[in-house]
Amino acid sequence: MLIRPLGHPGDLGWVIQAHGELYASELAWNTSFEAMVAKIVGDYAADHDPAREGAWIAELDGQRVGCVFCVREDDTTAKLRVLLVHPDARGHGAGNALVSTCVEFAQGAGYERMVLWTVDGLTSARKIYEAHGFVLREETPQHSFGHDVTGQLWTRDL
């Protein structure tokens, strides 16, 4: 498993496509989710501070199999975004490696805490977040991505 900085040709498009395809096939989410990921990726690509924001790709046998972004929420808070592990890489430690990389970057960038938003039911992701010290702070029922979901806000001190 290799974790490398995002930056190879095709990385940005892969993040968007992989999210769209995977969440559609596994959870039947509609394209509004892919559009949200495209906005996150586009905002990062258009204007990010490399000292305070980063993004990484996980590779297995030379193929992209995962990603995570660390973006600025505010001066003291980093936000973990768009964590994804392709089914081909599950069980290889990609999720843990990506979250570790993201948290370590945020600590090194001087943030005091890290937050993330997800939805209830993503059991594997929840286990990774808990293992890295994130605590569930808030749950909000909502209709997103074509379904009724429970949005979750997770936080951890750095």
Q: Residue 92 pLDDT more than 90?
A: yes
Phi, psi of 58 (to 5 degrees): -95, 135
Cα–Cα distance measured from residue 4 to residue 26, given in angstroms and rounded to the nearest whole number: 26
pLDDT in tens, 66-81: 999 999 999 999 999 9
Report, as an integer, the average pLDDT of 144-150: 93
Q: Give the whole-number percent of the chain exceeding pLDDT 90.
A: 97
Residue 121: per-residue pLDDT: 86
Domain residues of the chain, as ranges? Answer: 2-157
Report which of 15, 111, 35 is spatially closest to residue 71, judged by C-alpha positions. Answer: 111
- Residue 64 above 90 pLDDT? yes
Superfamily of domain 2-157: Gcn5-related N-acetyltransferase (GNAT) (3.40.630.30)
> CA 21, CA 115: separation in Å to the nearest integer?
25
